[in-house]
Homo-oligomer: A and B are copies of this chain.
Amino acid sequence: MYNYESLPGGFVREDEDLDSSALRELEEETGVHDVYLEQLYTFGKPRRDPRERVITVAYYALIASDQLSLCAATDAEAVGWFGLDEMPDLAFDHDEIIAMAHERLSAKLDYSTIAFQFMAEAFTLSELQAVYEIILGEAIDKRNFRKWILALEQIEETGELRREGPHRPAMLYRVIHPDQVDIIK
């Protein structure tokens, strides 16, 4: 009867924090772990799930681009990654949750270092710029982007190069404080 895809989720246990619960459900249903997790919003309209009253404390997680493997849990449907522009129909108000997460993330790009959560341990400035461009949905001037991101003094050269493809190799960078998301400016 309800034939839509859902976001990963489940019920909070009696003796469990909300953050832990989100991490647990995510890992149980997708195998994904080692993520940046942030509470997004709590959705509680009375009939958002027509079967019963459900109040959802929604979280979003960001994961480094080299950690994308998924494994469906035994009791879960197939899992998969979907681009924002290729989302299947979602159950309940899950599309609203996605929209809000996207909005939150776009806003945070401007005033925090949250984008680094998507990066592998070493990355090129072009890759980092692509993260910004994809999330913001607009092109960014390459020189201005580099000037800006380097001025933050949050990333540094690794000294290595990535040689890949028929073109000039790119310098690799690393995040100086990989485990924190800072407010900038």
Residues of A within 8 A of B (CB): 12, 14-18, 39, 41-42, 44-46, 53, 55, 57
Closest B residue to A18 by CB, please name it.
Answer: B44
A17 touches B44 (CB 8 A): yes
In the bound assembly, the distance between CA atoms of A17 and B47 in angstroms comes to 9
Stoichiometry (number of copies):
2
Say which residue of B41, B46, B57 sits within 8 Å of A44 (CB atoms).
Answer: B57
Find chain B residues with CB under 8 A from A55 CB.
12, 18, 57
Docked pose: A15 CA to B17 CA in angstroms: 26
Selected contact of A45 from candidates B17, B42, B57, CB within 8 Å: B17
Whole-angstrom distance from the CB of A182 to the nearest CB of chain B? 14
Nearest-CB residue, chain B, relative to A185: B110
Which B residues touch A16, using CB under 8 A? 46
What are 20 sample pairs from A and B whose C-beta atoms fall under 8 A apart?
A12-B44, A12-B55, A14-B46, A14-B53, A15-B46, A16-B46, A17-B44, A17-B45, A17-B46, A18-B42, A18-B44, A18-B45, A18-B55, A39-B41, A39-B42, A42-B42, A42-B57, A44-B57, A55-B57, A57-B57
In the complex, A46 Cα to B15 Cα: how many Å? 5
Residues of chain B with a CB closer than 8 A to A46's CB: 14-17
User: In the complex, what residues of B have CB within 8 A of residue A12's CB?
Assistant: 44, 55
Closest to A56 in B: B42
